[in-house]
Amino acid sequence: MPFPTSDKIWMDGELVDWDRATVHVLTPTLHYGYGVFEGIRAYPTDAGPAVFHLRAHLERLLQSAKIYPPLDTIPYTVDELCEVVCDLIRVNGHEGGCYIRPTIILGYGEIGLNPLPSKPQTIVATWEWGAYLGEDSAVNGVRVGISSYRRIGKNTIPPAGKANGQYLNSSLAKVEALRAGYDEAIMLSEDGYVAEGTGENLFVVRDGAVLTPPLADGPLGGITRASVMTIARDLDIDVHETSLVRTDLYLADEVFLTGTAAELTPVREVDGRVVGPRGPVTERIQSAFLDAIHGRNDRYADWLTVVD
Ligand code: PMP
């Protein structure tokens, strides 16, 4: 499938044509992965396209940048970046919603491993993107396998950030899973606890309660994860952050994944053990989540930034 395109990409204040939005081949980010990024989605609502948790995502972008100096020296505030994203959605005319990819990279300048002399560049792209784990995945669920690759450790590459280079770890696990015939990989922490998918947080349903690994076990502090925990509690479902091992997935009543790209995707099989089809607790939470992102529940109205 060809990569979807849109009209313009924002690069440090300039709206550049999609095909002309280029960087130098010697930018250190290309060589060493030293950059940070976010993934955000906008959805169609009755009030027009609206971005889900825009501020929280851009705050996390700047937090990731703080881990990786000098990426934190960009001259933009969260408020300014919120404006940039909304303006770009308007310019690109994404009435039906879109995916938003802000990234802070190192500009061309130095090629050694010291990033400090390089000047960071801020880029925002948007495009229209369908279901990340397959068109029918939200209903029929996906098949996952436990990866032989461990999730990056706390003192290897900080899992709390979203650095470009750390996704080598995710992509190795993803390729392994796809080649084994699965849709997605589940990664364990270095000490063997369930961490997360390659780009999704993971939840288990057991005896009516919802369980998810604590951040100490290495998952990203997903914004969808936090939203889903709030939604579940609002539905009077017990939610616990607790360490899980692989058999907790095999023996779960239900398993699902959450993330900006994957939204809320049920899991129907883990390492060949059937845990699907989509169960009743997953379906209740998913339905409330879909209402929230499409602006159909006033309770969560402040999670959306309407792009007028
Ligand atoms: N884990 C990883 C490794 C991710 O890349 C993502 C996507 N950002 C998530 C979890 C889900 O996070 P969020 O809900 O904030 O998109």
Of 127, 148, 166, which closes a domain? 127
pTM over 0.90: yes
Return the pLDDT at 81.
98
The enclosing domain of 243 has a CATH number of 3.20.10.10
Q: Whose CA is nearest to atom 7 of ligand 1?
A: 199
Whether 259 is in the pocket of ligand 1, judged by its Cβ within 6 Å, is yes
Return the pLDDT at 110.
82
Taking alpha carbons only, the member of 275, 146, 167 closest to residue 220 is 167
If asked whether residues 54 and 81 sit together in one domain, one would say yes
> ipTM value of the model?
0.99
If asked whether residues 95 and 153 sit together in one domain, one would say no
Enclosing domain of residue 225: 137-293
- Split into its structural domains, the chain has a count of 2
If asked whether residues 20 and 73 sit together in one domain, one would say yes
Of 93, 127, 161, which closes a domain? 127
Of 127, 151, 180, which closes a domain? 127
Return the pLDDT at 1.
54
Cβ contact 124:102 at 8 Å: yes
If asked whether residues 157 and 287 sit together in one domain, one would say yes
Q: Whose CA is nearest to atom 6 of ligand 1?
A: 199
If asked whether residues 51 and 110 sit together in one domain, one would say yes
Taking alpha carbons only, the member of 47, 191, 238, 33 closest to residue 115 is 33
Return the pLDDT at 130.
87
Q: Is 124 exposed, middle or buried (0-12, 13-18, 19+ CB in 10 A)?
A: buried
Whether 38 is in the pocket of ligand 1, judged by its Cβ within 6 Å, is no
If asked whether residues 195 and 49 sit together in one domain, one would say no
Residue ranges of the chain with per-residue pLDDT less than 50: none
Pocket test for ligand 1, best of 260, 263, 265 (most atoms within 8 A of CB): 260
The b/e string for 233-265 (b: 16+ C-beta within 10 A; e otherwise) is eeeebebeeeebebebbbebebbbbbbbbbbbb
The enclosing domain of 89 has a CATH number of 3.30.470.10
If asked whether residues 141 and 253 sit together in one domain, one would say yes
If asked whether residues 270 and 146 sit together in one domain, one would say yes
If asked whether residues 150 and 280 sit together in one domain, one would say yes
Point out the catalytic residue in the list 8, 154, 162, 174: 162
- Distance between Cα 196 and ligand 1 center (Å): 9
Q: Please give the number of the atom of ligand 1 that sits closest to the Cα of 159.
A: 3
If asked whether residues 216 and 239 sit together in one domain, one would say yes
Q: Annotated catalytic, 174?
A: no
